[in-house]
């Protein structure tokens, strides 16, 4: 985080909407010594944000803000941005709504002065809402999409980029359409898919759910998200989400069709030629897709070897394991912890670079750890 006095952002910064995002921005800017003035139509939200240290209330004689950050729900954002542009003719106005076309379109029709407007979207967040969930370090190390429209001045874009870097984020320049298509693919459709898979569990036999492993937890982790928030995000980005969802439905239909013709257990004779190949191709396409997700530090995704270790579910045991891994001189590339159902042990999966597995296993067994196959 930017140390106090070292921020490029010049205050006062006016934060409009003091929920989790607005409060986190206020907290981060205050930590960097920037003057932050808060506004929210909910008095409770406003006073709570002040009380947690995200900024102060406006006072008579305040200088006009140089930057306004609108952190209100997406559906009210265009109106709020238009009002702030009009109220503060010397300020650059940005917003942090998760969709950009749905903000820019109505703003353009409203005739607002778009030279001073630059949309943005910090790719960080919380499944909780409200000021008490705010954190000054929320944006550190995260991408922050900056959407300068064709009308935005260079100075306006620079002020928003500076805001992102002051909060520890990495600015990424995109136009509104590319942003919306990107988040549809990497965030909004995965949310729908996770929710639909998790919804299948509602009527599942408890005995079946007892068999759940890390795979199910991985696929459904984001299904615990807030329905109201996601309804507003999906509704605002429907134009970009629908083509991806339709493509997904087409792929699903292909797999359903192929499996219907490939019920090997029922009658091997009737398995249609090509049906199993179609199923295999769908799984292989998933391999291709997952290999395109960037790996550590944005670099190419690499294949790791995994050493799985049984860790007693007791204080200090995971720390002891990591100390022993450290003593092997092998770097931990990734770490996952899974709890064994009905047993007081966890399974720690330690990912290491290819070729280093044997070295790590030798050191860990030497320290008395039990390895799983
Ligand atoms: N939460 C996330 O993970 C996340 C991540 C990135 C971007 N965003 C975006 O940030 C924005 C805020 O989301 P949040 O999670 O902080 O929500 P939140 O529910 O925590 O807070 C929203 C705040 O906006 C206020 N508000 C409502 N109407 C308003 C209006 N007309 N004018 C000003 N303020 C108003 C509410 O009183 C509330 O305090 C949204 O546009 C969301 O898309 C959220």
> What does the alpha-carbon distance between residue 62 and residue 277 come to, in Å, rounded to a whole number?
69
* Superfamily classification of domain 176-253: 6-phosphogluconate dehydrogenase C-terminal like domain (1.10.3660.10)
Whether ligand 1 lies within 6 angstroms of the CB of 76 is answered as yes
Q: What is the pLDDT along the chain (373 residues), one digit of tens a residue?
A: 677 778 899 999 999 999 999 999 999 999 999 999 999 999 999 999 999 999 999 999 999 999 999 999 988 999 999 999 999 999 999 999 999 999 999 999 999 999 999 999 999 987 678 999 999 999 999 999 999 888 999 999 999 999 999 999 999 999 999 999 999 999 999 999 999 999 999 999 999 998 888 899 989 999 988 898 889 899 999 999 999 999 999 999 999 999 998 887 777 777 888 899 999 999 999 999 999 988 766 666 677 888 888 898 888 989 999 999 999 999 998 888 877 666 778 888 888 888 889 999 999 999 998 998 6
Residue 188 Cα, ligand 1 centroid: separation in angstroms?
A: 17
Asked if residues 119 and 82 have their Cβ atoms less than 8 Å apart, the reply is: no
Residue nearest to atom 27 of ligand 1 (CA): 72
Whether ligand 1 lies within 6 angstroms of the CB of 17 is answered as yes
Work out which ligand 1 atom sits closest to the CA atom of 99.
Answer: 43
Residue nearest to atom 30 of ligand 1 (CA): 72
Three-state SS at 164: helix
Instruction: Tally the residues of the chain.
Output: 373
pTM of the model: 0.83
> What does the alpha-carbon distance between residue 190 and residue 222 come to, in Å, rounded to a whole number?
9
Domain positions in the chain are 13-174, 176-253, 261-296, 305-372
Three-state SS at 28: helix
| Count of C-beta atoms within a 10 Å radius of residue 134 | 25
> What does the alpha-carbon distance between residue 190 and residue 197 come to, in Å, rounded to a whole number?
10
What is the assigned CATH class of domain 305-372?
alpha beta
| Count of C-beta atoms within a 10 Å radius of residue 277 | 12
Asked if residues 147 and 120 have their Cβ atoms less than 8 Å apart, the reply is: yes
Residue with tokens 């391999």: 287
Work out which ligand 1 atom sits closest to the CA atom of 131.
Answer: 20
DSSP code string of 48-109: HHHHTTS-B---TTPPPPSEEEE-S-GGGHHHHHHHHHHH-TT-EEEE--S-SHHHHHHHHH
- Which CATH number does 13-174 carry? 3.40.50.720
């Amino acid at each position: 985080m930017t140390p106090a006095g070292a921020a490029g952002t010049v205050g006062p910064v006016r934060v409009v909407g003091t929920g989790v995002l607005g409060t986190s921005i206020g907290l981060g800017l205050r930590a960097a010594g920037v003057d932050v003035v808060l506004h929210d139509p909910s008095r409770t939200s406003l006073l709570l944000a002040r009380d947690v240290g995200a900024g102060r209330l406006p006072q008579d004689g305040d200088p006009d803000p140089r930057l306004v950050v609108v952190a209100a729900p997406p559906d009210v954002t265009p109106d709020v941005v238009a009002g702030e542009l009009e109220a503060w003719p010397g300020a650059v106005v940005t917003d942090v709504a998760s969709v950009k076309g749905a903000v820019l379109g109505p703003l353009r029709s409203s005739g607002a002065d778009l030279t001073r407007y630059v949309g943005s979207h910090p790719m960080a967040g919380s499944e909780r809402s409200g000021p008490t969930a705010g954190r000054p370090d929320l944006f550190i190390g995260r991408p922050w999409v900056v959407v300068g429209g064709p009308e935005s001045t260079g100075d306006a874009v620079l002020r928003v980029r500076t805001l992102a870097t002051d909060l520890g984020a990495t600015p990424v320049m995109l136009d509104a359409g590319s942003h919306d298509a990107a988040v549809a693919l990497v965030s909004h459709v995965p949310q729908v898919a996770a929710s639909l898979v998790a919804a299948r569990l509602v009527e599942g036999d408890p005995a079946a759910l007892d068999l759940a492993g890390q795979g199910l937890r991985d696929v459904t982790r984001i299904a615990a998200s807030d329905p109201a928030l996601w309804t507003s995000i999906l509704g605002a980005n429907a134009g970009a989400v629908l083509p991806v969802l339709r493509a997904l439905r087409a792929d699903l239909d292909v797999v359903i069709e192929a499996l219907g013709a490939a019920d090997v257990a029922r009658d091997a004779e009737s398995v249609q030629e090509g049906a199993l190949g179609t199923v295999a191709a769908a799984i292989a396409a998933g391999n291709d897709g997952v290999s395109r997700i960037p790996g550590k530090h944005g670099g190419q995704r690499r294949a790791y070897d995994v050493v799985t270790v049984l860790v007693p579910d007791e204080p200090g045991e995971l720390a002891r394991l990591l100390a022993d891994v450290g003593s092997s001189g092998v770097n931990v590339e990734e770490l996952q912890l899974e709890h064994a159902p009905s047993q007081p042990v966890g399974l720690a999966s330690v990912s290491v670079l290819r070729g280093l597995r044997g070295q790590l296993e030798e050191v860990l067994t030497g320290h008395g750890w039990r390895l799983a196959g």
